[in-house]
Amino acid sequence: MSTAEIRHFHLFCGLGGGAKGFNQARPRVGNMVAQFRCIGGIDVDAASIRDFERLTGVPGTVLDLFDRDQYLDFHGTEPPADWREASTADIHRAAGGERPHIVFLSAPCKGFSGLLSEGKSKTDKYQALNRLTVRGVWLMLEAWRDDPPELIIFENVPRIATRGRHLLDQIVDLLRAYGYAVAETTHDCGELGGLAQSRKRFLLVGRHVAKVPPFLYEPHSRPLRAVGDVLGRMLMPGDMRGGPMHRIPALQWKTWVRLAFVEAGSDWRSLNRLAVEDGQLRDYLIVPDNRNSGFLGVGHWNAPRGTVTGRSLPNNGDFAIADPRFTQSAKWKDGQALGVRAWEETTGAIAGQQSPGQGSYSVADPRHTGPAKHSNEFRIVRWDKASMAVTSAHGTGQAVADPRRAGPSFGKYSVTGYDTNAGTVISGSTTGQGAFAVADPRSGMQRGKGDSYLTAGHYGVVPWAGPSGAVSAAAGHDNGRWSVADPRMPASGDKLVCRITAEDGTWHRPFTTLELAALQSLVDPEEMLELDGLSDQAWRERIGNAVPSSAAEAIAHVMGETLLLAWSGETFLLSAQPIWVRPLALGVVMGSAA
């Protein structure tokens, strides 16, 4: 096997995602294998260049590629005294004096992005940024005009084909004037790299016809992966073993609530189904997961239970179950306490206890012929009124409201005063048989000095600005002052980290910065990543601007195969993949035939 070195150089390199992917490619044709080597990169952002050097292992160059007019339009002020326009000599120095075989340009795309309004994209500032794409291509072509790079790839957002059409036409004309066949395509970088994200990008590819006769084929496409395939291999978010980039972003409280109500796979439009009255959710209430330790909690039949303790009771935890095997409830209606049977119906089974309060043990008896019969039943006669006729019925007949309660008596449920004598003690000395209860003042519940229940502060709430008592070993909310009036209820704009269980039982949360880097294939899920600085916002911007390394590797692979073919004297490779860049003359002939 012989090894051929392929040198690559990057304009507008960012943090070096594309360069890292190119370094990883190992294309092979016959007995030749390619070894990619990065010879440098240029970017205006110093932090990005420090990241570039960390990811690629080669020096990068901080260089502003604006011309003077573009600088004025973009910054709105004159450049500093030591500023000067970049030249082809600067490009040579940035490449270490070497000539690249492949040049990768990922020009600033903010002015072309659909995230920018149409009106704002037409301002002088963003038009200057857009014109920088043409200047970058021109500087690169001029730097190596005597020995042009074999292949050129220009990456940007798809909307450049519409918002930047006039600039693209200039770039295509430039490339063709320097001997390149050109193709404009749109690819999903997620499919090129087998990523867990869909990332549509515009790719303009140039092949120097004289130096590279073989066709350049398109990279293979692969299915998109599930985001869980990547995130599932990583540490839990917030686990600082993943480094500072794996911390959970602090969001506004209202943002956390909104995220919790967005259906998975949907967006903000899910919120339209919520009923809001006076600024409050009408049908939902957010409560803490550890509320009252599961007090009177009822678990699902098909869900596991918590740890069984020595006091596993319904009123001290989640120790009740929604048992679906109670088939009698529909028939018995919870035992039919105080149930009354119809006269013509059968009664239920006679149990060992049959009182009206224990089941259907009463009957609607129709044999009551009128008020004359048993008219005295349960009648209470006033002390100063006449009695009804005395009958032979016993037990449920008349009764009298007797006011004579003073002194010892044998009245049922009578209570004797503490300072008087009791009635005669008889064999049936129960509370229901005579004066055998006493009004005892010695309750032991005095409310004054020495009252342990009163001074222990049971269910006590400490003010936020006041001190707490000494913390005891048995401190609980119900046995002392172990609660606090906490004023820190989050306002809608407060930033914090929350874990709200959504309706689908999952945690709807933002990606951590490290997870975004893993989705961009800048780092393996099991690895840590260190970028320059300490700002999540700056990290995320550079990560979002990066070319996914795996997609760049796939592009480098087909470009490497094409170069190996050209250097080995081959002019044709049989492939089922579509041709990416064909010769200009052949393209014109086929276009005319069509």
Long-range contacts, stretch 296-305, CB < 8 angstroms, 24+ apart = 296/320, 298/322
- pLDDT reading at 586 higher than 60: no
Average pLDDT over residues 188-207: 92
Q: 3-class DSSP state for residue 116?
A: coil
- Per-residue pLDDT at 254: 86
The separation between CA 569 and the C-alpha centre of its own chain, rounded to angstroms, equals 54
pLDDT band at residue 587 using 50, 70 and 90 as cut-offs: very low
pLDDT digits (tens, 9 = 90+) for 252-310: 888 888 888 888 888 878 888 889 888 788 888 777 665 556 667 788 888 777 677 66
pTM value is: 0.67
In whole angstroms, give the CA distance from residue 183 to residue 291.
Answer: 62
Residue 185 backbone dihedrals phi, psi, to 5 degrees: -135, 165
- β pairing state of 380-381 and 399-400: parallel
pLDDT: is 566 or 336 the higher one? 566
Is 36 in contact with 8 (CB distance < 8 Å)? yes
Residue 482 backbone dihedrals phi, psi, to 5 degrees: -120, 30
Average pLDDT over residues 384-396: 58
pLDDT band at residue 589 using 50, 70 and 90 as cut-offs: very low
Residue listed under structure tokens 């749109």? 186
Give percent of the chain above pLDDT 90.
Answer: 39
pLDDT digits (tens, 9 = 90+) for 439-475: 877 665 555 665 555 666 777 888 888 888 777 777 7
In whole angstroms, give the CA distance from residue 543 to residue 361.
Answer: 77
Q: What angle do CA 177, 180, 186 make, to 5 degrees?
A: 115
Residue listed under structure tokens 């089941």? 359
Q: Helix 17-24 vs helix 46-56: angle between axes, to the nearest 10 degrees?
A: 10
pLDDT: is 437 or 197 the higher one? 197
In whole angstroms, give the CA distance from residue 144 to residue 88.
Answer: 8
pLDDT: is 145 or 349 the higher one? 145
pLDDT digits (tens, 9 = 90+) for 74-124: 999 999 999 999 999 999 999 999 999 999 999 888 888 877 788 888 898
**In the chain, what are the helix, strand and coil shares in percent, each to the nearest 5?**
30, 15, 55
Ramachandran category for residue 393: left, alpha or beta (phi over 0 → left; psi -120 to 50 → alpha): beta
pLDDT digits (tens, 9 = 90+) for 310-348: 667 776 677 788 877 755 544 545 555 667 777 777 776
pLDDT digits (tens, 9 = 90+) for 399-420: 676 666 654 555 667 788 888 8
Domains and CATH numbers, the chain: 2-238+533-593 (3.40.50.150)
- Per-residue pLDDT at 76: 92
Q: If residue 437 lies in a helix (H) or strand (E), which one and from where to where?
A: strand 437-438
